Structure 1
Amino acid sequence: MAERFTWKPNRSAPGTFQNAVRSASFGNGYRQVAGNGINNETQSWNLTFTGKKARIAAILAFLRAQQGFKAFIWKTPFDGDLHFTCNAYSPTDQGGDLWMLTATFEQTHQVT
């Protein structure tokens, strides 16, 4: 069972929805396009977390434990619980005890 990511990101969290499609071009400008597979839409989210060092350290520990390839569950703003991986994240010292962590969550499709 996948672990659940429970920390809330900052409000401005840009997401990208991308569809995998196949296309074939023919003569006279005709082109045929179809979805590639049954899970052809994937999401990625560029998230930012700010807070005290202890909070950011806990998020960082969770992401490091997933090792970039283990899927975890995160509740998206539009589609609810989905599986994601995160193989890139950057903590930044903001001064004092304040830290910021940026991370990109990339959707992965799991057999349920």
Structure 2
Amino acid sequence: MAIQTFTWAPAVSGLSGTATLKVRKAQFGDGYDQRVPDGLNNRRSSYNLTFIGDAAKISAILAFLDARAGAEAFYWTPLLRTQSLFICETYSEPTKDGDVYTMTATFDQTFDATSTI
């Protein structure tokens, strides 16, 4: 099965992300430490996203995420970054205010299209 692309844009207001850098560290007795990147993909990102829209837009996002069941990776392009693989294991059920719906989702970067992180 081909990897799908998540195309909906999140609300920019409140968009937040975290990059985690995995390093190996050797601590020496004189207070000196030495660090090196751990692995080829030592930088992993996670984004907390908010989506706001009408029923059709939010329903389409829910259907996309549900179809992947938290286990299948998809492509998404974060702000100021290149397209990467992500999974979504957590999202909120939508809330409604008039005709506008809001939901949040957490996208975690992965490097393997066949499994979760």
1:93 maps to 95
CA distance in 2 between partners of 1:109 and 1:36 (Å)? 14
Counterpart CA distance in 2 for 1:11 and 1:85 is: 20
The amino acid across from 2:101 in the alignment is W
Q: 1:57 aligns with which of 48, 55, 59?
A: 59
Query: Which of residues 27, 47, 50 in structure 2 aligns to 1:48?
Result: 50
Q: Which of 20, 23, 27 is the matching residue for 1:21? A: 23
Q: Which residue of the other structure, out of 30, 33, 52, is the alignment partner of 1:31?
A: 33
Percentage of pairs with the same residue: 44
What is the SS of the residue equivalent to 2:83?
strand
Task: Compute the RMSD of aligned alpha carbons.
Answer: 1.4
Which 5+ residue runs of structure 1 have no aligned equivalent?
none
Question: Secondary structure of the residue that 1:88 maps to in structure 2?
Answer: strand
Q: What is the distance in 1 between the residues matched to 2:41 and 2:104?
A: 27
1:96 CA drift (Å): 2.6
Structure 2 gaps, min length 5: none
TM-score by length of 2: 0.87
- Contact 1:90 1:101 (8 Å CA) reproduced: yes
Larger strand fraction of residues: 1
- Does residue 71 of the first structure (1) align with residue 45 of the second (2)? no
Query: What residue is the counterpart of 1:9 in the other structure?
Result: 10
Alpha carbons 1:8, 1:49 under 8 Å: kept: yes
3-state SS in 2 of match to 1:55: helix
* Matched pairs, number: 111
